[in-house]
Amino acid sequence: MQRRLSWLFIGLALVIIVTLFISSSQTYEQQSLVSNLDKILANKPFEKQLSAISFHYAGSEISIAAKGYSSFVEFFIRKGAHFFSYAVLGFSLFVGLGAWLKKSWLILTLSAGIPLAYAALDEFHQMLTGGRTPLVQDVMLDFTGALFGILIGYVIIKRVNKSAA
């Protein structure tokens, strides 16, 4: 990949990091989707099916019975956003750094290590923000997302290189 194009991916990674920092600077109340979900999902679609789902996350029960319908749906939106944003971060770093670094172990280490370190720092930042709870489980979710993004990047690059050969 051209180094010029790699800057696009490095830039995307920086945009994600800044966006995550701004997001973790907000209180839960500032970010809450519950009131909007109450309006959008007023007829509670799939409530019967979703009521069968119950599990524990970070010591709290996650179910419609425990959280309410909209808060239950919001949980999946918020955790999906964690996973997806870190997947894009891992992907962007893997692809962007791949044009500059030649050692595969270094590309992988930085592409995984930077999101892991940032996820831990982000949870620490949330601890300093009112109304937020830092969770080790979120760091693990973020890191899993980053690894998924790296895997996607690896598969894409292998296919591109194979078709170019």
Q: Is 134 part of a structural domain of the chain?
A: yes
User: For residue 105, what pLDDT is reported?
Assistant: 95
| Rounded average pLDDT over 91-104 | 94
Q: pLDDT band at 5, cuts 50/70/90?
A: confident
* Domain membership flag for residue 84: yes
What pLDDT digit, counting tens, does each position of 70-83 carry? 999 999 999 999 99
- Whole-prediction pTM: 0.92
- pLDDT tops 60 at residue 147: yes
In this prediction, residues 42-69 reach a mean pLDDT of 96
Residue 157 lies in a domain: yes
Total domains in the chain come to: 1
Residue 110 resides in a domain: yes
The alpha helices in the chain, defined as continuous H runs, are 3-24, 28-31, 34-40, 47-50, 64-67, 69-98, 104-128, 136-164
Domain range enclosing 153 = 3-32+79-164
